Amino acid sequence: MTLLTADTRNSASSATRELPASAVGVGPSSRFPALPRPTLEWTPEIQAATAHLYERMARVIPPVEWPFFAPYVKAINDLKHVRNATILAHNYMTPEIYHCVADHIGDSLQLAKLAAKSDSDIIVQGGVHFMAETSKLLNPDKVVLMPDLKAGCSLAESITGADVRALRRQYPGVPIVAYVNTSADVKAEVDICCTSSNAVKVVESLGADRVIMVPDRYLAQNVAAQTKVKIIAWHGACEVHERFTAEEIENYRAENPGVKVLAHPECPREVIEVSDFAGSTAAMIDYVRIKKPARVLLVTECSMADNVAAETPGTEFVRPCNFCPHMKRITLPKILDSLLYVREEVTVDPAVAERARRSVQRMIDLG
Ligand code: 13P
Ligand code: SF4
């Protein structure tokens, strides 16, 4: 596998790059009526109305925290009906979002596809900015809201559309695959998108000897290990998954005999090599639901273990805790404000959106 070095990069490292112009919110939409702010007090009525939800959460949310969450849960669920809104929650959302207010849960691609099927006017994205953009691409007529526009992603921010154009000049004729963790600007410049679960299939579908994969160097390495296609990789990385090491996993194994280790393909190759299974967040959840291991270690963002633990009481979770700071920007108070004030809207330039949608759709069409 070829890893692009500093010399082959176009613009400078974008770890500090601003979110794309499309990240700028347009403020409350005049299409939706102003509504009064709910009182958000912990009352016997709120307690009764949310008791069935807390029952499911008791394994992961301490009782002392519920009086803070419950008034928001009730208010958000009421507002969703008034606004005809759908809340999408990525598998890394905290349990009170994931289990108590979300209409659809899943990995990044599942969410966008599910949203396309909804007949709501508004989509609230419980996730990060590239996910909201993907939802907008697949739902151009819906209002897509981000509770916090600063919820970015180290992978999406590591590459721009201009970087991809420079790669095309450097490697004429070599097809380019973009992980869905990219901005719409990047998706618009590539041949096709992929997710962590379909990356090998997407690469091999192109029928080329060499394929460029952006932006995750670890996903690229993990794909390269499973295909004869020569992979040329960009140098991006997920700031959460790149921190895991094989040594750490081996230590967990030594301390927790019989533990099944499931890792996300954004982890370094050495981590995948010492794991029992590698797959997207949805694939890891399916593994736990179907195989019901007695003990499991999810080598991924921390909230996922809480979310799966809430519904799989027979499994013990060994918990390394690497938080995604971007995902953790999304909270119940921000979701409430998003619905109440209809903010912040995520838009994509229609010309960019048309080309970006083509890359996403080409992947979806592969099945
Ligand atoms: P999934 O598509 O597997 O949910 O991954 C998205 C992500 O951001 C993982 O860090
Ligand atoms: Fe991006 Fe990593 Fe956070 Fe996923 S976990 S959103 S890849 S920074």
The answer to whether 170 and 253 are in contact (CB under 8 A) is: no
Residues 25 and 90 both lie in one domain: yes
Of 1-10, 75-84, 96-105, the one with minimum mean pLDDT is 1-10
Tell me the pTM. 0.91
- What atom in ligand 2 is closest to the CA of residue 154? 8
**Same domain (yes/no): 292, 247:** yes
Q: What is the mean pLDDT of residues 12-37?
A: 56
Model confidence at 6: pLDDT above 50: no
Predicted confidence (pLDDT) at residue 183 exceeds the cutoff of 60? yes
Q: Of 124, 173, 182, nearest to 152 (Cα)?
A: 182
CA of 266 to the centre of ligand 1 (A): 8
Is 109 found in the same domain as 232?
A: no
State whether 209 and 126 are in the same domain: no
Distance in angstroms (rounded) separating the CA atoms of residues 209 and 207: 7
For residues 253 and 316, membership in a common domain is answered with yes
Mutate to test the pocket of ligand 2, among 181, 194, 284, 299 (most ligand atoms within 8 A of CB): 181
**Position 16 in a domain:** no
* Same domain membership, residue 170 and residue 52: no
Strand ranges, E, within 192-347? 192-194, 210-214, 230-233, 260-263, 277-278, 295-299, 316-318
Q: In angstroms, what is the span from residue 114 Cα to ligand 1's centroid?
A: 16
Task: Answer yes or no: is 164 within a domain.
Answer: yes
- Report if residue 119 sits inside a domain: yes
pLDDT in tens, 301-310: 999 999 999 8
**303 touches ligand 1 (CB under 6 Å):** no
Q: Is residue 15 part of a domain?
A: no
Protein residue closest via CA to atom 1 of ligand 1 = 107
Q: Are residues 131 and 167 in the same domain?
A: no
Whether residue 147 sits in one domain with residue 86: yes
User: Do the domain assignments include residue 350?
Assistant: no
pLDDT band per the 50, 70, 90 thresholds, residue 5:
low
140 vs 30: CA distance, rounded Å: 18
Same structural domain, 100 and 219: no
Ligand 1 site, residue 238, Cβ cutoff 6 A = yes
Residue at 352 is within a domain: no
Distance CA(93)–CA(219), nearest Å, equals 22
Q: Each residue of 318-352: pLDDT tens digit? A: 988 799 999 999 999 999 999 999 999 999 999 99
Going by pLDDT thresholds of 50, 70 and 90, the confidence category of residue 104 is very high
CATH number, domain at 288?
A: 3.40.50.10800
> From atom 8 of ligand 2, which residue's Cα is the shortest distance away?
153
- On the question of pLDDT at 36 being above 80, the answer is yes
Q: What is the mean pLDDT of residues 87-106?
A: 96
Residue 6 lies in a domain: yes
> What is d(CA 223, CA 213) in angstroms, rounded to the nearest whole number?
9
Same domain, 163 and 149: no
Let me know whether 142 and 48 are in one domain: yes
Sign, CA dihedral 157-163-167-173, equals positive
Which atom belonging to ligand 1 lies closest to the Cα atom of 283? 3
State which residues form the domain around 161: 2-10+156-239+359-365
Pocket test for ligand 2, best of 94, 129, 326 (most atoms within 8 A of CB): 326
Q: What is the pLDDT of residue 9?
A: 41
Looking at the structure of the chain, the number of domains it has is: 3
The verdict on residue 105 lying in a domain is yes
Out of 168-182, 207-221, 301-315, pick the least confident.
Answer: 301-315
Please tell me the distance from the alpha carbon of residue 189 to that of residue 359, in angstroms, as a whole number: 9
Least confident range from 17-21, 148-152, 182-186, 303-307: namely 17-21
Ligand 1 closest atom vs CA 327: 8
Any ligand 1 atom below 6 A from CB of 195? yes
Decide whether any atom of ligand 1 lies within 6 Å of the 266 Cβ. yes
| pLDDT tens digits, one per residue of 217-226 | 999 999 999 9
Q: In whole angstroms, what is the distance from residue 14 CA to residue 236 CA?
A: 9
